[in-house]
Amino acid sequence: MQTIKFIVNGTKHAEARVPPTTTVLNYLRDTLRLTGTKEGCAEGDCGACTVLVGRPSGEGLQWQPVNSCLMLVPQLAGAALLTVEGLGRDGALSPAQRALMESDGTQCGFCTPGFVMAIEALCRTGEPPRDDVIHDALAGNLCRCTGYRPIVEACRRALAEPRDAEATDARGDFVALSHSAPPARYEQAGQCWRFPRNLDELFTALTEDPQARLIAGATDLGLLASKASEPLPSLISTERIDELRHIDETDDTLTLGAAITYAEALPRLDVHFPSFAAIARRIGSRQIRSLGTLGGNLGTASPIGDTLPCLMALGATVELRSRTGARQMSVDDFITGYRTTELRPGEVIASISLPKLKDSERFAAYKLSKRFDQDISTVIAAFRLRLEDGKVGDLTAAYGGMGPKVSRAPHLEEHLLGRSWRREDLDGIAAALARDFAPMDDHRGSATYRLTTAANLVHRLWYETTTETLMRLEAL
């Protein structure tokens, strides 16, 4: 029998009955009757459904927070799951639970299990109890009652408590679990989920079922299951394909496999492209970054995909692989229109290569949205700038939210090339951008707002690159 094996709160499970597109949230609540995990938004914004997923790492587990409303049951194969019911021992509260209680960090209580799990996840990372770390860890959880101050204080209290490694990691037979490979395919209720182990098996699956959809982290595609209740009859997971899960680095280039998650990519982005890393942290919470992938974001070709302007401005290239071979192209050429790309039938995104910045180059990315964290962009811009003797020696500018696809701004680039990089010489920017883009009016912003702010972001780049001490304006 086809079964998916995993551990929930220390108990082994072998599931053979649920449809593959069942969300982990619904499975917990409806099948296991673990109702502590809540549904607030069903789209990965509120964090009420936060659980921890652990995978073997060294002698223990690496635990990461995820949104169970987006994660699908087959993604649990070979993993351990921890819910709010699994915290505490012998009837005692866990440090995170006790800290929230003692700090008066709960009122109606609906969001509380999600906050408990987000705090628990942070406590297991060993990160310092700095305010920026705490706010990043809690950014994926919303509360309508408390105003967050007592929740932040609860997080500080929990971080100050000593951790019992045995109590947190010695749950279940993890060694046996890690060696328990999932079935090649899992079928139930007219739906099929395939687990290819390499590219050859992936290409075979695509040949057998050309209509199948690739699924990486499910942070985008999972919405079709959680919000739209679409059946999604055939899915092929890229999660276990080693050829898509590599990070390579040379003196000149950083290459990220298409199935590398944001969380895995961030340490390298922090080193080489800190402004890109800052955008990645605003794209989604830790719960989203634990599962979401750069390859998945690129493949959606969304006009408001936040990584895409960054990739374009950096001159990134994408490698496409099929049974017949490989080809490379710039991200500019890869995106052809509204959610359309150059991908051919039977072809997949294999990796994305980012040229490292030269000493003379600066890179900056800016996102405007109604909410700072985890909100859809109204306008997003990315710039790679090289100055020579006070003049613009080279400029690559890319924008999202300005049209049906993420695009370069060729008239802006041409207008500024060779021009003195002085404030009084930055006239004509708005007119150049009006030739590049004809944005729409929608509930996030009017066309006038988008064009005005798109020009203002160039001025912001000027401010940040002309101060004696390099700075980001958010620091003010």
CA pair distance 134, 108, nearest whole angstrom: 22
pLDDT band at 89 (very low <50, low <70, confident <90, very high): confident
120 and 31 part of one domain: yes
Mean pLDDT, to the nearest integer, of 191-202? 96
pLDDT tens-digit map of 21-70 = 999 999 999 999 999 999 999 999 999 999 999 987 777 788 999 999 99
Rg (CA), the chain: 23
- 208 is a domain residue: no
Which H or E run includes 271?
helix 262-272
- 273 is a domain residue: yes
Residue 286 is encoded by which pair of tokens?
Answer: 């830790």
- 396 is a domain residue: yes
151 and 297 part of one domain: no
pLDDT of residue 225: 86
pLDDT of residue 474: 62
Mean pLDDT, to the nearest integer, of 212-216? 95
pLDDT tens-digit map of 268-325 = 999 999 999 999 999 899 999 999 999 999 999 999 999 999 999 999 999 999 999 9
Question: 181, 203, 221 — which closes off a domain?
Answer: 181
- 231 is a domain residue: no
Instruction: Give the residue numbers spanning the domain of 39.
Output: 1-181
- Examine the pLDDT at 168 and tell me if it is beyond 80: no
- Examine the pLDDT at 165 and tell me if it is beyond 60: no
- 32 is a domain residue: yes
Mean pLDDT, to the nearest integer, of 351-366? 97
Check which CATH number belongs to the domain holding 73 and give it. Answer: 3.10.20.30
pLDDT of residue 469: 65
Give the β-pairing of 247-249 and 391-400.
Answer: unpaired
pLDDT of residue 58: 73
Longest dimension (CA), the chain: 72
Name residue, tokens 């990519």. 265
Q: pTM here?
A: 0.93
Closest CA to 70 of 195, 289, 220: 220
Euclidean distance between the first and the last CA atom of the chain, given in angstroms as a whole number: 60
Residue 406 is encoded by which pair of tokens?
Answer: 């993420």
261 and 346 part of one domain: yes
- 195 is a domain residue: no
pLDDT band at 91 (very low <50, low <70, confident <90, very high): confident
What are the backbone angles phi and psi of residue 305, rounded to the nearest 5°? -70, 115
- 228 is a domain residue: no
- Examine the pLDDT at 11 and tell me if it is beyond 50: yes
pLDDT tens-digit map of 377-405 = 999 999 999 999 999 999 999 999 999 99
Mean pLDDT, to the nearest integer, of 195-206? 96
| Ramachandran category for residue 171: left, alpha or beta (phi over 0 → left; psi -120 to 50 → alpha) | beta
3-state secondary structure of 64: strand
- Examine the pLDDT at 257 and tell me if it is beyond 70: yes
Burial label, 145 (beta-carbon count in 10 A; 0-12, 13-18, 19+): middle
Number of domains observed in the structure of the chain: 2
Which H or E run includes 7?
strand 4-8
CB contact burial 320-336 (16+ within 10 A = b; e otherwise):
bbbeeeeeeeebbebbe
259 and 400 part of one domain: yes
Strand segments (E) across 216-339: 234-237, 247-249, 253-257, 317-322, 325-330, 335-337
112 and 10 part of one domain: yes
Q: Which amino acid is at 338?
A: Y
Question: 181, 200, 218 — which closes off a domain?
Answer: 181
- 202 is a domain residue: no
Closest CA to 306 of 373, 255, 354: 373
Q: How many helices (H) and strands (E) does the chain have?
A: 18, 20
CA pair distance 241, 146, nearest whole angstrom: 43
What residues contact residue 453 under an 8 Å CB cut-off, 6+ apart?
368, 378, 379, 445
Mean pLDDT, to the nearest integer, of 417-430? 94
Question: 162, 181, 200 — which closes off a domain?
Answer: 181
- Examine the pLDDT at 476 and tell me if it is beyond 60: no
- Examine the pLDDT at 475 and tell me if it is beyond 60: no
3-state secondary structure of 148: coil
